[in-house]
Amino acid sequence: MNAIETRGLNLWYGDFQALRDVTLSVEQGAVTALIGPSGCGKTTLLRCCNRINERNPAVRTTGEIRILDKNIYDPDVSPLELRKAVGMVFQRPNPLPVSIYENVVFGLRLHAPPEARTRAALDLAVEKALTEAGLWEDVKDKLGETATSLQLEQRQKLCIARLLPLQPDILLMDEPCAALDVTATENIEQLIRGWQGAYTTLIVTHNMAQARRVSDRSVFMLSGELVELGSTQQVFDEPKDPRTADYVAGRYG
């Protein structure tokens, strides 16, 4: 089953066309990497999946995006509800300027029914989310401290943990390791690999080695077009399109 499908997706920023007739399928439970040179449309495509591009009034979109077999542009789809099911991790960690605990329960306080907002339920959700994000042992004794006191890697893990209590089906990750050092990158990649089967993960990365390490499937984009989609091994080792071959070999980009 596919968690995400796009059909003939086009997007314009004013007069500039950033996506051109993108038809894509993302397998449920897999980690899929979006690769390609800067400006090729990777992040734009990622942001289409939770309609965050629509915050820009100059954006115009045509085509279809189906998330778990529902067209997200149908009039009965609420962008707010969509973003609960499709969480997003940004390039720079952006924790809220409140405590570690309140960061994790923020979504539950807004969206959960009363029985899920009791202190006991919130405490359990915090421990579960921070454990899943690999952060619990580091912060379990300082949950009341402000999130901005954390190190950069810990902030990124907290941003991941903040998504998990709402039980998203899909995680979108836009260069989640770009601001991190080698050790922190390895730790985040270990988390991503551990999600295989539990979450559908779509990750934008410029790091070809990272794409090979963490992803099941890869998508190569160029000038707003989808050039190649396949298993990561096939895309890197036996690319079908010469443009893909040139890119993964480092001949441009």
Report domain extents, the chain: 2-248
pTM exceeds cut of 0.75: yes
In 3D space, the residue among 213, 221, 177 whose CA is nearest the CA of residue 196 turns out to be 213
HSE-CB of 241 using CA atoms within 13 angstroms:
15
Write out the two tokens for 64: 């279809």
Give the pairing of strands 31-35 and 200-204.
parallel
Give CA angle at 80 (76, 84), nearest 5°.
110
In 3D space, the residue among 76, 91, 79 whose CA is nearest the CA of residue 54 turns out to be 79
Residues 149-185 as b or e (16 or more Cβ within 10 Å = b): ebeebbbbbbbbbbbbbbebbbbbbbbbbebbeeebb
Per-residue pLDDT band at 52 (split at 50, 70, 90): very high
Convert the pLDDT of each residue in 83-110 to its tens digit.
999 999 999 999 999 999 999 999 999 8
pLDDT above 70: residue 235: yes
Write out the two tokens for 252: 């441009």
SS percent in the chain: helix, strand, coil, step 5: 40, 30, 30
Average pLDDT of the segment spanning 173-177? 96
Indicate the class that CATH gives domain 2-248.
Answer: alpha beta
Task: Report CA 41 to chain centroid distance, whole Å.
Answer: 15
How many whole angstroms separate alpha carbon 253 and alpha carbon 119? 50
Average pLDDT of the segment spanning 225-229? 98
Per-residue pLDDT band at 253 (split at 50, 70, 90): low
* Comparison of pLDDT for 195 and 240, the residue scoring more: 240
Convert the pLDDT of each residue in 11-46 to its tens digit.
999 999 999 999 999 999 999 999 999 999 999 999
